[in-house]
Amino acid sequence: MMKGEDVHVSEEEWFFEQVSQHKRNLYGIAFSYLRNEADALEVLQEATCRAWSKRKSLKDPERLTPWMIRILINCCMDELKRRKRKITAEPQRYEDGVMELASDRRLDMEKALDNVKPKYRQVLVLKYYRDMTLTQIAEVLEKPEGTIKTWLNKGLKQLRDKLKGKGDLYHG
């Protein structure tokens, strides 16, 4: 074997280079879940630390990106659960009291998306916010592509129903 320390340094350099190459996409995924820049950055840092500490469990270096996305999604879900336990009494305030119609629609969409079952929501987020293919989503979530298609369709139905105002579809 080569010098242990040199191998370790090159492994570390390779890992962080890979994360750095994908940081924009990873941040985008975190932001689409958390909708807050500071939280997205914090969760991205947490996911990177978790991935580094669990790197030995990654058997195929070619699968680093989907593996890292899976860890990131798990971190996002942990943060969302933590937030749910710490329910805020006041809705988020916006700097400018005047909102444009497009902003209202986006907020309606985000609110509706929050009420979609989590497993369906993550497929919708990866598909429509991150432009991932169904095959890529199946790889990241480690589910058959048929399951992903089903979840996508059920998620879209829940989203449509929620946007039409058909009552509460999901209670956490």
Q: Is residue 94 part of a domain?
A: no
Angstrom distance (rounded) from CA 87 to CA 84: 5
Note whether 81 and 107 are same-domain residues: no
Sequential pLDDT tens for the chain (172 residues): 344 445 556 888 989 999 999 999 999 999 988 888 999 999 999 999 999 999 999 989 889 999 999 999 999 999 988 887 765 444 454 444 444 555 667 777 888 888 889 899 999 989 988 888 999 999 999 999 999 999 999 999 998 998 887 544 444 4
CATH number, position 48: 1.10.1740.10
Do 75 and 109 lie in one domain? The reply is no
Cα three-residue angle 111-169-117, rounded to 5 degrees: 70
Cα separations in angstroms, 144 against 69, 70, 148: 17, 15, 7
Structural domain that includes position 64: 1-87
Residues 79 and 130 in one domain: no
Same domain as 104, residue 140? yes
Q: 10 Å Cβ neighbour count for 47?
A: 24
